Amino acid sequence: MAARAAVQQITILGSTGSIGVNTLDVLRRHPQRYRVVALCAHQQVDRLFAQCLEFQPRYAVLGDPSRAADLAARLTAAGCTTEVAHGPAALVRMAELPEVDAVMAAIVGAAGLPPTLAAAVAGKKILLANKEALVMAGSFFMRAVRENGATLLPIDSEHNAIFQSLPANYAGDLLESGVLGLFLTASGGPFRGMATVDLDSVSPEQACAHPNWVMGRKISVDSATMMNKGLEVIEAHWLFNVPADRIQVVIHPQSVIHSLVQYADGSVIAELGNPDMRTPIAHALAYPQRIAAGVEPLDLYQVASLHFERPDLEFFPCLALAYRALSEGGSAPTTLNAANEVAVQAFLDRRISFTAIPRVIAEVMQQIPAGGPLESLAEVLTADRLAREAAEFLLDRGMPG
C-alpha cells in the first residue's frame, strides 16, 4: 500500500485577487492534501475575513495597519485565532516561513517582487503568477532560484502550457532538446479588429471587459493593450532560456490553445483546455501528479474551429515596446514595467486616454537609458522608482495626452 503524501503547507500572496480566489477553490477540493498557513491581501478586508473563517490560516496579512486592526478585531469577535500582520515586511516573512512548502506568488505588479524573491532565497516551491518578478529582475531572480534549490512552476496559462509541452527533462538548451521556438497565444483582447481611432475614446470599463478570461483590472487593461503578452515574452525568455527571436506571439481569439512548442522534426505540441485559471493552478500545485480542478472538460465539437492571426505591432504598440525592452536588456524591462503600471493606473483613474498608455511608456524608456544588468534587489527597486518618478512627472505635466 502506497504511503500517503504529506500535506503541503501553502502561503498565498494575493489571496483576494482572481488567482488567489481560484487557488483557494482548488485547495477547497483537496483538504486532505493542502493546508493554508498564510493568506495575504492588499486592502480587501471583507473577502480576506471570509477566507480566514473558512480556511483558518495561522497568519493573515494586509497592506496597512488600520485595515489589519479592523480584520484582527473582526476575527477575534468571530472566535478565529488567525494572527494578523501588515506591511511589506510581513509579506516577506510569510513567504519564507520554515513550515511553508509552497508559495503562490499572485500579487500584481512590482509589490510582488520582494516576497517572491524571499521565497526563492528560502528554497520554496514557487507557483509564479507574478510575472513582474521576472520582467523586473529576470537574471537576478533566476540565479536566486538556482542557487537556493527553489522550484519554479509557472501559473500564467501560456507559460504553464509551454512547461507542459516541453520535454520533461528540458534544462534550458533549445538545440539539445530539439526545440525550434515557442508560440505564445493571445486572445487579442476586447479591441481586436477595431479601427485605431476608436481606441482614443474607450473607457476603463470597456478595456476591462475581456472576452474570455475573468481577471483583475490592471491585467485586463494589459491584455487590451497586449502589454500583458509583451511581459509574457520577457517572462518566457527567463523561464525557458529562449531568445526573443525564438518567441512568437500569435493571436488566437478562442483562447483554447494556451501556447505551443515547435520542434526541429516538424512537430508542434500544444496544451489545450477551457480558459480557466484553475487548470494551471491545479497543475502546479500537484506537479508532477494531476488533481481535479473543477474545470469542465474541453468539448472539441463545440469549439469546432480554431483561428490564428499575426499581431499588428502598430495596433498594439505595447507589444513592440516589450520586445524592444527585452532586446535592450539591462534595466529596460524594469523601466517598461514601472512606466506601464503608472500609465495603466492613470488610465483607470481617467487621467489619460487608452492610447496614451504606450506613449507614456515610450517616453519614459527614451528618457532612461537601459544601462547594464541589475544585480541586486536594491538596484532593481531603484530602477523601478526612477521610472515611476519619470512617468508621474510626465502625467503631472499633462503629457502625453
Q: Is 156 annotated as a binding residue?
A: yes
109 near 341, Cβ under 8 Å? yes
Residue 389 annotated in ligand binding: no
Is 173 annotated as a binding-site member? no
Task: For residue 42, say whether it is annotated as part of any ligand binding site.
Answer: no
Residue 159, annotated as binding a ligand = no
Question: Cα 312 to the chain's mean position, in Å?
Answer: 23
Distance, CA of 360 to CA of 88 (rounded, Å): 28
Residue 157 known to bind ligand: yes
| Residue environment code for 247-265, b if the CB has 16+ CB neighbours within 10 A, otherwise e | bbbbbbbbbbbbbbbbbee
The response to whether 18 counts as a known ligand-binding position is: yes
Cell of 156: 500564467
Cα–Cα distance for residue pair 15/218, rounded to 1 Å: 16
Q: Is 130 known as a binding-site position?
A: yes
**Residue 372 marked in a binding site:** no
The verdict on whether residue 223 carries a ligand-binding annotation is yes
Closest CA to 223 of 193, 259, 186, 256: 186
203 in a known ligand binding site = no
- What are the cell numbers at 20? 488567489
**Short-list 10, 22, 21, CA closest to 278:** 22
Q: Is residue 333 classed exposed, middle or buried when 0-12, 13-18 and 19+ CB atoms within 10 A define those classes?
A: buried
Q: Is 210 annotated as a binding residue?
A: yes
169 annotated as ligand-binding:
no
Annotated binding site: 16-19, 130-132, 156-158, 187, 210, 216, 223, 228-229, 232
Annotated binding site for 1-deoxy-D-xylulose 5-phosphate: 131, 157-158, 187, 210, 223, 228-229, 232
Annotated binding site for Mn(2+): 156, 158, 232
Annotated binding site for NADPH: 16-19, 130, 132, 216
